[in-house]
Amino acid sequence: MPFTLPDLPYDRQALAPHMSAETLEFHHGKHHKAYVDKTNALVADKGQSGASLAEVIRAARDGGDKALFNNAGQLWNHNFFWQCLAPAAEGRAPDGRLARLIEEGFGTREAMLARLKEEAVGHFASGWAWLVLDRGSLRITSLHDGDTPVAHEGMQPLFTLDVWEHAYYIDYRNARPAFADAVLGNLVNWDFVARNLDGRGLERADEAGEATPAEVAEALG
């Protein structure tokens, strides 16, 4: 099949106690996997095998295909999300250009994280809170359901927090604020955030959608 579930960049136990192994087993192993499988099935149905994940998302947006847009968007969003996190012991403070941008935009790292938490907690129902680079400055926003920066021209993603209930219900029940505090306070992979200042964050969660000639032929019927 064209798209695959990327391995987590750490062990399932590595984010505990802020995010348990059971949460990763379900969130990555079941929910993220389901987006991969549904996207592959829909792509095969439409004869799009071989297109990259970003191409599939934009084509679904332009064609008004909500099922494919949401599943492919969720696949990309999760590919990006896992890279945004790191075990607490490896967490580093932002420095260099990222530290300067945080200071310019928010004053302090704590103020920026408080604003990100506010966006995450205030987002109605399912979606994602985003830290993005917008015309050289940091900006915090959120997107609904499976919507993704891939579908918004010029939106350069730096960091995201998944605020779908499946992200926190096992560890925090309905307490989204406690989940946001734990992740933002302990698990942010600042190295990944800083790397995305090069404007290539979109590529870091893309997938090539390589298909064998037999798969393409099968998809095309």
Where on the chain is the footprint of Fe ion (CB under 5 A)? Answer: 162, 164, 167
Sheet holding 127-134, edge to edge: 137-144, 127-134, 156-162
Residue nearest to Fe ion (CB): 162
Closer to Fe ion by CB, 76 or 190: give it: 76
**Which tokens go with 9?**
């960049």
Least distance in angstroms from the C-beta of 135 to Fe ion: 29
Nearest to 157 by CA among 101, 204, 105, 189: 204
Closer to Fe ion by CB, 3 or 164: give it: 164
Least distance in angstroms from the C-beta of 37 to Fe ion: 15
Least distance in angstroms from the C-beta of 211 to Fe ion: 26
DSSP state of 162: E
Closer to Fe ion by CB, 159 or 164: give it: 164
Closer to Fe ion by CB, 99 or 170: give it: 170
Least distance in angstroms from the C-beta of 167 to Fe ion: 5
> Is the Cβ–Cβ distance between 128 and 142 less than 8 Å?
yes
Closer to Fe ion by CB, 67 or 220: give it: 67
Longest dimension (CA), the chain: 57
DSSP assignment of 84-104: HB--GGG-----HHHHHHHHH
Report in angstroms the alpha-carbon separations of 110 from 51, 63, 93, 105, 212. Answer: 41, 41, 11, 12, 48
Closer to Fe ion by CB, 101 or 171: give it: 171
Report in angstroms the alpha-carbon separations of 218 from 42, 46, 55, 186. Answer: 13, 11, 20, 46
Least distance in angstroms from the C-beta of 127 to Fe ion: 10
Least distance in angstroms from the C-beta of 96 to Fe ion: 30
DSSP assignment of 111-161: HHHHHHHHHHHHS-SSEEEEEEEETTEEEEEEEETT--GGGSTT-EEEEEE
